[in-house]
A and B are shown apart, each in its own frame.
Chain A
Amino acid sequence: MSESQRIRSLQVLCAVVIAGALTGLIIGLTGNRLPPHEVGVLAAPRVEEPKGVIPSTRYTEFSRRTHGPNAGFSSRLSSLVQPPLPDPRDLLDQTHEQKLDSLARRSKRRAYNGAPPVIPHAIDQRTPAACLSCHGSGLVIDRIRAPVMSHEPYASCTQCHVENRPAAIASYSGEGNRFAGIPAPTSGERAWTGAPPSIPHATHMRENCLSCHGLTGWPGMRTTHPWRLSCTQCHAPQAELEQAPRFVHAPDVSRFRIAADGL
């Protein structure tokens, strides 16, 4: 084979590969499109990276094998190039309908306003530490939106947030529940047109306003003025919403005879 023939055949090979890739891309882009805002199922539980020669999966086992990202993939998700944040001027175009739509989607992941949201994607069952890689600072990649945590970081995420639902034991049936929790409010009160609205919900466990109202937050609920960082300077929390305890405080139990000598 001459040099030119070799180059020629390489070019043909490349063209075939590129054509194949493009076809795949177009099929991928047109078919199977997730509806906007729905988070795709990212991964099944942890997949161990095999050492040495990697055995191929038998076809008979294929449908039942756990597939998912390896350690490298999941740790890189947050370092993928993120799209530029929206132009603040575009934030003014948010509509009330967008907000209602977002509130409806949001309410599907909670039993009531104030309940911890369920996790709408697969998680690793035993290492919740991975949560912070996306939810620590918030993330938007294509249709996947990982809100930044609304509360101070606690070390045991799965204490309050649970996956709905793990793949390996998927089938379930339940008796159902009639509970109807309180809905999220649709807007805060304004004292007059143009006044800053008050915060229409409790702020306990929702100390970080940017979780919902920041640039990675929900459409229709994002702040129109992200450059202002001290939210409560203008938006006042409402004491009556803070689950004010009806009962008087616990008796003073601070009078222990605890010695101050390090005991």
Chain B
Amino acid sequence: MIQADRRTFLKLAAMSAASAAAHRAEGRTTALPQLDGAGIQWHKAPCRFCGTGCHVQVGVEAGRVVAIAGDREAEVNKGLLCVKGYHVGMVLYGKDRLTQPLLRRGDQHVPISWDEAIDVIARRIVRAPERFAFYGSGQWTIPEGYAAQKLMKGGLSNNHIDPNARLCMASAVTGFLATYGVDEPAGCYDDLDACDVVICWGNNPAEMHPVLFSRIVDRRSRGQRVRLIDIGTRRTRTTDQADNYLEMKPHGDVAIALGILALLRAQGSWDRSFVDKHCAFRALQAENTTLQGEAITFETWSERIAAYTPDVVERLAGISQDDLQMLAKLFADRSLRITSLWCMGVNQHTMGTAVNSLIHGVHLFSGHFGRPGDAPTSLTGQPSACGTVREVGTLAHALPGGRLVAKPEHRAQCEEAWNLPEGRINPKPGHHTVKMWEQFTTPAADGGDIDTIFVQVTNPGQTLPNLPLLFDRKQGQDDKFLIVADAYPTATTRLADLILPAAMWVEKNGIFGNSERRTQQWFKMVDPPGQARDDCWMTIAIAHRLLELGHPGMKDKDGRFLFHVEDEQGNVVPIWQWEHYYDVNVDKALFEEYRQLTRMKHKDLAPYEEYVKARGLRWPVVQQPDGSWRETRFRFSGVDDPYVEQGRDIQFYHSVTGDDRAQVWFYPANPPAESPDGEFPFWLCTGRVLEHWHTGTMTRRIPQLLRAVPRAYVEMHPADARDLSIANGEFVAIESRRGRVELPVWIEGRGAPPRGSLFIPFFDETALVNRITIDAYDPISKQPDYKKCAVRVRRLSNGNAVR
């Protein structure tokens, strides 16, 4: 079965593309006529791609996007973009856009009407509401995520809603919660302008957050000094500009963080006054562990941390004792401003919560916190992982505004805000992502309790780990029904039973929330092609069809529809009918409702109209006595955060201990889920490249980006290639215990892994690396580890012929 995977996939992809193509409107595949630019209008929008949250200016002429420029008004990017951003307008114009709903009949996808499509979904849900799951995304706009959240938890009393962000930043969330009692970074990008030292923990911002990276290194062009330290498992473009490169063993980050803490403690060079005033100590319980763990004394913490001496760290992490001393010395120096950056290397980790907490711990214990430039800053990969997932709470256990389904008072607050009868919201958390897909692909007879999944704005058929187990098993199970809304045919639509054509980016209104707590709004600028429609409309239309079918959850206490929207005259607008969806600004209506829920955790959002005027505002956005709205750059910091009591320098006002203290954690360094052995002797790390974004469904349709990196490859050390007699460019098979993938080898390419280590980017749907990754996850955050598993390399008999 595994041997045939790639061929089967290509065949299936071709098949679904062919059936989609057969129904495509005439002339859709030819290039659009060129306009002269005379009638161009410029609008603002955040970029569609990563979590940096750059603003672009979108040039629109005759109903089409014809140009893009960096937005000089935007504080994030100050007029500059990356190559993806400059080409973001082209995401709308791929030749194979999906333009009508397609239902699987046998091995064909046949076009059906939107009314039929919505009816099929609603009936599928009504049949067994508790077996339905909604799989969303950090690319959902805030109103889209909010609508999905309200439909599931408020309407269907069903908590099986989880986003792809579970695969991306769930460990960052648990790290923040365990440390500060509230999610999301205290600092912001301004720290990058003010810091003296940047430490990248398993992070390659030169490629993944290029605009932030150039914001740092361009300081050097202006004569400023900023020291860049790259702690990583392979050399990257970030290494190239780094002052120090500390090559660690995979999983070594836990030991490095512990080692810094141990040295600060042993040398007495921690910040006593900061720790005495603002910190407490914590560790996991001996058994029945929880996210909050248990309080321990400073003495206990000191005893446990003392085990991580430089020689132990050298053995565990592979970095030299001198390098560890160097890091400890930097943190011991209070005159420096130190910013830590991390992203997937730390998050996609079976000890993700631990490393996140320990990095925060290093900053807190050394007092490098709360002054501009002194910040532990976690970066996100998706444009609204923060805004939609973490703030709206579209996770199986969460409710909007940092609330939890398990807490009665939080449920009551949401029921009140949504005007729902008491007890409507289900107190039991739903399935997290890995569990959801495991249940979906497990036959009902074997206990699989999910039989319908609606996927919006994401591509799990490519991004789930261990695809043979978590996705491919769906094939042939006709009682399982997969609904996928997307703009293009993807690795997920290949197994979809119902494909819905989605409007994207500036084809709809939207609001994103980026990595630095910045909420960003844009307006619809062009029409989507064919019958493509907004994801938010789909959710509302399904809810209304459920109402028509008599589902009691679609009404509030007073018998009104869950998504009741009135116009200025007080008339109900039938927004579930597409032709009336843009009669009002549905985004604004949903956002104004949602924003009332944001204040409990002091994540206050301003009225919608404030975001129309701004290039995003960082929450908490607090109204001033003169009526204006003021954003917050440095949270918990007396210099800036309006919620810190007057006269205090730092106040962790959501402390889990209720005494305004943050938690400095201890975690023991445990081994990874799988390590190389005789049979599978190589480490495999997966990740991204600058030119492609995530699964490449958008960037692979942009010729300038595709030509730059046409396909996935495997990076290998030249000595390993020589030992295996593999030439540069030769196709090889990479095999793990779970599957196999064939790729060309690229030696001395974009990155350079050390001996015994491989790297493969995951953007390429024709070479699905997640067929071989492991589905082991962090026990607290449930986020899988895509960064390490054991594989072997096999030469192919025709490895050189394939190219």
Contact = CB atoms under 8 A, between A and B. Distances in A.
A103 B293 CA distance: 65
Given A177-B703, A183-B34, A263-B372, A168 B713 contact: yes
B34 A176 contact: no
Interface string B470-505: 000000000000000000100000000000000000
A1 interface: no
Nearest to A255: B630
Given A64-B729, A126-B237, A154-B214, A178 B93 contact: yes
Given A166-B749, A181-B67, A251-B628, A160 B82 contact: yes
Interface string B147-185: 000000000000000000000000000000000000000
Contacts of B614: 250-251
Interface in A181-197: 181-183, 185
A66 B31 contact: no
Contacts of B744: 168-169
Contacts of A45: 748-749
Contacts of A252: 628
Contacts of A153: 221
B213 interface: yes
Which range holds the interface residue count of chain A? 35 or more
B73 A176 contact: no
Nearest to A263: B639
A181 to B, nearest CB: 5
A169 B95 contact: no
Interface stretch (A2-10, A211-219, A238-246): A238-246
A255 B629 CA distance: 11
B200 interface: no
A177 B713 CA distance: 24
Contacts of B81: 160
B704 interface: yes
B83 A166 contact: no
A46 B639 CA distance: 49
B558 interface: no
A1 B264 CA distance: 81
Interface in A100-143: 111-116, 118, 125-129
* Residue from A48, A112, A169 with most neighbouring chain B CB atoms (10 Å): A169
Given A177-B90, A179-B32, A245-B42, A251 B237 contact: no
Interface string B187-230: 00000000000000000001000110110011011000000000
B44 A64 contact: no
A174 B630 contact: no
B37 A182 contact: yes
A95 B362 CA distance: 66
B42 A246 contact: yes
Contacts of B40: 182
B616 to A, nearest CB: 8
A248 interface: yes
Contacts of B35: 180, 182
Given A159-B210, A179-B93, A114 B67 contact: yes
* Residue from A115, A118, A163, A170 with most neighbouring chain B CB atoms (10 Å): A115
A171 interface: yes
Interface string B604-617: 00000010111101
Contacts of A167: 729
Contact of B700 (A116, A163, A175, A253): A175
A168 B239 CA distance: 22
A159 B214 contact: yes
A77 to B, nearest CB: 20
Contacts of B80: 154, 159-160
Contacts of B95: 175-178
B371 interface: yes
A257 B639 contact: yes
B73 A249 contact: yes
Contacts of A172: 706-707, 710-711
A43 interface: no
Given A168-B728, A171-B711, A183 B36 contact: yes
B643 to A, nearest CB: 13
B249 interface: no
A27 to B, nearest CB: 29
Contacts of B42: 243-246
Interface in B1-49: 28-37, 40-44
A171 B713 CA distance: 11
Given A64-B800, A175-B700, A175-B701, A169 B29 contact: no
Nearest to A174: B706
B72 interface: yes
Contacts of B630: 253, 255
A108 to B, nearest CB: 11
A163 B708 contact: yes
Given A183-B36, A247-B44, A251-B614, A114 B710 contact: no
B702 A126 contact: no
B86 to A, nearest CB: 5
B705 interface: yes
Contacts of A160: 80-83, 86
Contacts of A171: 710-711, 803
Contact of B631 (A46, A205, A243, A253): A253
B709 interface: yes
Contact of B691 (A127, A155, A162): A162
B613 A177 contact: no
Nearest to A178: B93
B86 A181 contact: no
B747 interface: yes
Contacts of A163: 708
A247 B30 contact: no
B668 interface: no
A207 B221 CA distance: 17
Interface string B629-646: 111010000011000000
A115 B631 contact: no
A118 B700 CA distance: 16
A70 interface: no
A251 B64 CA distance: 30
Contact of A169 (B67, B92, B729, B748): B729
A127 B36 contact: no
A156 interface: yes
A160 B83 CA distance: 4
B598 interface: no
B44 A118 contact: no
Contacts of B629: 251
Contacts of B438: none
A161 B67 contact: no
Contact of A158 (B237, B704, B729): B237
Contacts of B803: 169-171
A259 B639 contact: yes
Given A112-B68, A155-B220, A156-B210, A182 B702 contact: no
Contacts of A165: 707-710
Given A114-B67, A159-B213, A259-B639, A204 B704 contact: no
A54 interface: no
11 contacts: A66-B747, A114-B67, A159-B206, A168-B713, A174-B700, A176-B703, A177-B93, A179-B32, A180-B33, A251-B610, A259-B639
Given A182-B34, A251-B617, 19 more contacts: A66-B747, A111-B704, A115-B68, A116-B86, A126-B750, A127-B240, A128-B240, A160-B83, A162-B704, A170-B710, A174-B703, A177-B701, A180-B64, A182-B36, A182-B61, A204-B70, A247-B44, A250-B615, A253-B630
Interface of B: 28-37, 40-44, 57, 59, 61, 64-73, 75, 79-83, 86-87, 89-90, 92-96, 206, 210-211, 213-214, 217-218, 220-221, 235-237, 239-241, 371-372, 488, 610, 612-615, 617, 624, 628-631, 633, 639-640, 690-691, 700-711, 713, 727-730, 744-752, 800, 803
Interface of A: 45-46, 48, 61, 64-66, 111-116, 118, 125-129, 153-156, 158-172, 174-183, 185, 202, 204-205, 243-253, 255-259, 263
